[in-house]
Amino acid sequence: MKRIKESLPAMAVIAVLLVAWWLIVVETRSVIFPTPWQVVTGAAELIKDGTLFTHIGASLMRVGIGFSLAVLFAVPLGLWLGWVKGAYSTLNPLFQILRPISPIAWIPIAILWFGVGNASPIYLIFISSVFPMIVQTTAGVHTIERRYLRAAENFGVSRYTLFRRVVIPAVLPQIIVGMRIGLGVAWLVVVAAEMIALRSGLGYLIIDSRNAGNRYDLVIAGMIIIGLIGLLLDGVMRLLEGLKSVRWRYAH
């Protein structure tokens, strides 16, 4: 009941926006831009013929592979950079140069290296999500409270035990933050990549609907579905904050 009450303001805002959307389309008598109901019927059309789930599955598959590869690469590398001062001073300037480059700028390189297929968007997802996780993980190691390390040293623990039992648990909340940021960026990038280099996925659905008869009802439906899936993915990542080994870091 409490959760329902907390969601009422957001639901009210959405309802107001839907009514405003419908009124504007009706008053302007637009023959191109759809009403909310036309978007619903368009989405139902995609669900009925199975097209929608095919495109959703393709996008999620690419994000899943690219993001998983980024996690496997970024987390160990970030821990190493944060723990070994020489590694940080050597490699950090390189990552700080590459990190601000827009993932979209990598699209021509991805097509040149991997061609037109699933490998290109997976590479783009990897390159876009790996840097936030490296930065957050490294920063997490650097911000560990010294009292944790001093307490472990007082007990004479080995460097390996110190890293495994103190450093990793202390950095885990920061890793989760980096993963949330990386997954959000990955979901943005896969849609952009699918608009340019692929023939499946939600990005392709939007651009194909625009080109094939100006089906703006399907364009808007695709945009809303992308937003809802993004919200769902972020919610899944937020669940990780509730893990026993992580939630100590959060005041709530």
Residue 144 lies in a domain: yes
115: left (phi over 0), alpha (psi -120 to 50) or beta: left
Q: Is residue 100 within 8 Å of residue 40, measured between CB atoms? A: no
Rounded Cα distance, 234 and 230, in Å = 6
Token readout for 130 is 């790996």
102: left (phi over 0), alpha (psi -120 to 50) or beta: beta
Residue 192 lies in a domain: yes
Q: For residue 165, give every residue at least 6 positions away whose Cβ sits within 8 Å of its Cβ, in sequence order, or none.
A: 152, 157
Residue 244 lies in a domain: yes
Residue 215 lies in a domain: no
- pLDDT of 60 reads 93
* Total domains present in the chain: 1
Token readout for 248 is 């100590």
- Which stretches of the chain are DSSP H helices? 2-28, 36-49, 51-83, 85-98, 107-114, 119-142, 146-154, 159-162, 168-197, 202-211, 216-239
Q: Kindly state the DSSP code that residue 144 receives in the 8-state scheme.
A: -
- pLDDT of 252 reads 43
- pLDDT of 162 reads 74
Residue 80 lies in a domain: yes
Greatest alpha-carbon pair distance for the chain in Å reads: 77
- pLDDT of 26 reads 86
Residue 106 lies in a domain: yes
Token readout for 100 is 């601000």
> pLDDT tens, position by position, for the chain (252 residues)?
666 777 788 888 888 898 898 998 888 887 788 888 989 998 998 899 888 899 999 999 999 999 999 999 999 999 999 888 888 889 989 988 988 888 888 888 888 888 878 888 899 999 999 999 999 999 888 887 777 667 766 666 677 777 777 778 888 888 888 899 999 999 988 888 888 767 888 988 988 888 877 788 899 999 999 999 999 998 888 887 777 766 555 444
The pTM of the full predicted model, rounded to 2 decimals, is 0.85
- pLDDT of 168 reads 80
Residue 35 lies in a domain: no
What's the CATH code of the domain at 68? Answer: 1.10.3720.10
Domain that holds residue 150: 54-197+225-249
Listed residue (145, 142, 135) closest to 182, CA to CA: 135
Residue 16 lies in a domain: no
Q: Is residue 217 within 8 Å of residue 152, measured between CB atoms? A: no
